[in-house]
Structure 1
Amino acid sequence: MDAVPQSVEVTDAREGSLRRRIRIAAVYIGAALGPLGGGVVAPMLPQVGQSLGVSANAVALSLTVYFVPFAAVQLVSGTLGERWGRRNTVLAAYLVYLIASLICAFAPDITVFLAMRGLQGVANAFTSPLLLAGLADMVPVARLSRSVGIFASCQAAGQSFAPLIGGVAAATSWRWGFVAVAAAAGLLALAPPPGAARPGAAAPRWRPLLSGRLALLSTGALVSYLGGSGLPFLVALYAEDHLRLRSDLTGLALLGFGLAGLLLGAVWGTLLDRASARWCGAAAAVVTAAFVASVGLTDSPWVLAACWTAAGAGSSMLNVALQYLTIRAVPANRGGALSAVSAFRFSGAALAPVVWLPFYHVHPAVAFAAAGSSLLVAAVALLALRGAVPAGPGRPRPGDESARGETPEVTATKKDG
């Protein structure tokens, strides 16, 4: 048999490298799609309500019907996606997201609009955790923490620019905002992450998710949004009620939180290469707690914006550390671990108004102090990870540290301090 020419081998290697880079880029862009699709409706509530013949308050339910199923379905979506195959699951989820977005764009009434917003949330539950799990198989172990940081930056970008894109669409026709989201989902469906189905004995199991390590990470994720990332509504209330800011200036004051995450995510990921993720996350929780508490004491818009931006920087570090530690917690079922922890994260965002508004009505400073103090629970949870019961062993995927001779227990604690 004739030898394969070296030029052909080099060309094949380059094509393979290019495909891998495209897939990695698609993962990063996909990280932004969920927050973008979820928040794009916020600036267009009056326009949507006028078109559909209902009040803006009725349209505001579209935020709830998106994020509630998004959080709830993630309790199972990661494990199911690992069983069905990451590639096929994410591809199907993108197509469902595309269809739901298009129907939202041309919805004839509020019932159809809300139903499709809920379907968007369900579809997003099958993309975000599996994208991050797939990223762990596509990048070298030495670059994993930095890649997680970039992924978190893209999530922050989607969250930060959703109001801008929604506002631009509302100035012309709000329906174009959903058409744009649908187009993005269609393009991303062309480059789903790798991962074949794992049926039968190879199927990832639920039991390793019921561990002390996952319980602590879930607790940290819950309070990270309950006392930090889920507070923009409270900061907006304080800015308008006590600093007398106009709504447009309030939006500018809030923008720094997300921009800090966008700019610093990769930096925090690189830092985790040189330091303990566990200790970095705990320190970030303490710093974020201090700046969140200080918001309720500010008497100037500039000081408020500075404190909230600093809180965003700390919250970004906490988020990167939590996601990085979760990826390593259950190597045999990364998607399941990531989706379960993410479910608790967004549950914290859903609970924030219910928990903190009663404190705010007593006194704003009390509300922000209590919210900041709750983040100390995340610091304790992260520091307790060292003594947590590690996830049970399972069948490793290609690219897992365990496949190279390390047990899941060693993998989970190697860089955690």
Structure 2
Amino acid sequence: MQLKQMRVGMLYVGGFVGPFAAQSLAAVIPDIAVTFDKTVQEAAFAVTAYMIPFATTMLFSTAIVHRFSPHKVVRIAYATTLIGAIICMLAPSWKIFIGGIVVMSLSNAFTLPILQVIIREVTHPDKLGGALGRYFAMQSLGNCAAPLVAGFAAIVNWQLFYLAVIAVALAMVVIGVPGIQPLAKNTTSEKVAWPPMIVHILTILAVGMSIIGMGAVLTIHLESVFSMPASQRGFVIMAGGLAAFFFAGRIGGAVDKYGALRVLTACTLAGAAAIALVPHLGWPVVIALCWAVAFVGAQGIQTTVTYSALRTPGGTKFNSTVLAFRFFGLALTPVLLLPIYFRNAAAGFAVPAALLIAAMLLQQWQGRKTAA
């Protein structure tokens, strides 16, 4: 295979490694607690230590591509990821481990959005939806594979999981991604279309809160209603990542064929309906199917919003800002939606479904306004 083709392929491998590294933490929190003599609640801080710096840095990380070549930024970021993974694997203390987590978090903030910028630059406009769909499919695979790999590693030593992160990061550094020049100055000075950009931000925030973040609520629901052990709950959650991996590419192709707004509407309606149904179902297998539909919907919405944002005036510069709100939304779910669930299970799933519908209506309103 030619080096150029390999580098294009590495764009999608890069979409895998970020979620793969992040999701592994949730799978081994009890093991982290034992290793560093912490309570489970204290060990769960590792997830927060990853998400908060990651999402905050993403608010502005894309702007760097107007000063430096994006492929060079990505290579440096994966070299930093490599260092962070080595620190986490060898960390002898809690503080050093958290330091390694933060290093990986900050570096991932310069890979996820910038890889998407490179994909836009090297892909024909008529095929951008399909390319983004493949990228998000690899993200879904990373989300799905992380608990499995981390679980097997924990049989010997959970920290050995980072060998997988080290291997992928090293491949990203050695092979690299397609080279492009820093974005032109006239792109940097392009006036940002704020109304659609704000709608995109609110939509991604709703997806983070109402579907992706609801994995934690679903886990609690499965344990409280069905008394399911962790291993079985994990399979239900994994159904979402697997389904999104298989369907994200097709959704991206549908964006190219039918348009972003139509696909977003279909994905939102399906995702909202699936989430709202969960507390009314008495069979875990059916709940797993609903979760799969909801997660596919979430990936579809994210694909369409990214597609639209990158094609909006000023969208390249603010793409990372839009994406960051997915993770802020995820962080808000335990604070805003979990208390509702504890008061009333049906409302705990109905409210996020309503938030998704509200975001869809905003998108349709903005679409009509733009077309007028």
Judge same fold: TM > 0.5, yes or no: yes
C-alpha contact (below 8 Å) 1:260/1:316 kept by paired residues: no
State the number of aligned residues: 371
Q: Which residue does the alignment assign to 1:69?
A: 53
Q: Which residue does the alignment assign to 2:30?
A: 46
Rounded to whole Å, the distance in 1 between the matches of 2:64 and 2:354 is 36
C-alpha contact (below 8 Å) 1:82/1:197 kept by paired residues: yes
Change (3 A) 1:379 1:261: same
1:237-290 deviation digits (Å, cap 9, x = unpaired): 111101222221111111111111100011111111221211210221122111
C-alpha contact (below 8 Å) 1:256/1:309 kept by paired residues: yes
Query: Which ranges in structure 2 are unaligned for 5 or more consecutive residues?
Result: none
2:306 counterpart (323, 337, 343): 323
- Check if 1:273 corresponds to 2:277: no
The alpha-carbon deviation at position 351 of structure 1 amounts to: 0.5
AA of the residue aligned to 1:294: L
Rounded to whole Å, the distance in 2 between the matches of 1:228 and 1:153 is 16
- Check if 1:376 corresponds to 2:360: no
The alpha-carbon deviation at position 325 of structure 1 amounts to: 1.1
Q: Which residue does the alignment assign to 1:241?
A: 224
RMSD between superposed Cα atoms in Å: 1.9
Rounded to whole Å, the distance in 2 between the matches of 1:232 and 1:110 is 27
- Check if 1:252 corresponds to 2:235: yes
The alpha-carbon deviation at position 85 of structure 1 amounts to: 2.0
- Check if 1:225 corresponds to 2:208: yes
Rounded to whole Å, the distance in 2 between the matches of 1:276 and 1:304 is 30
Rounded to whole Å, the distance in 1 between the matches of 2:173 and 2:95 is 27
AA of the residue aligned to 2:218: V
Q: Which residue does the alignment assign to 1:400?
A: none
Q: Which residue does the alignment assign to 1:288?
A: 271
Rounded to whole Å, the distance in 1 between the matches of 2:183 and 2:240 is 40
C-alpha contact (below 8 Å) 1:66/1:117 kept by paired residues: yes
Q: Which residue does the alignment assign to 1:192?
A: 177
Rounded to whole Å, the distance in 2 between the matches of 1:146 and 1:222 is 23
Which of the pair is proportionally richer in helix? Answer: 2
The alpha-carbon deviation at position 172 of structure 1 amounts to: 1.2
1:94 counterpart (78, 95, 107): 78
Q: Which residue does the alignment assign to 1:213?
A: 196
- Check if 1:298 corresponds to 2:275: no
Q: Which residue does the alignment assign to 2:348?
A: 367
- Check if 1:142 corresponds to 2:123: no
1:57 counterpart (38, 41, 62): 41
1:213-256 deviation digits (Å, cap 9, x = unpaired): 11111111110111111111011111110122222111111111
If you compute each CA radius of gyration, which structure gives the higher value, 1 or 2?
1
- Check if 1:177 corresponds to 2:161: yes
1:379-414 deviation digits (Å, cap 9, x = unpaired): 11221232557xxxxxxxxxxxxxxxxxxxxxxx7x
C-alpha contact (below 8 Å) 1:45/1:59 kept by paired residues: yes
1:41-99 deviation digits (Å, cap 9, x = unpaired): 22222323322232332221111110111111111100123322201211111111110
TM-score w.r.t. length of structure 1:
0.85
Identity rate of aligned residues, in percent?
Answer: 25
Rounded to whole Å, the distance in 1 between the matches of 2:183 and 2:351 is 45
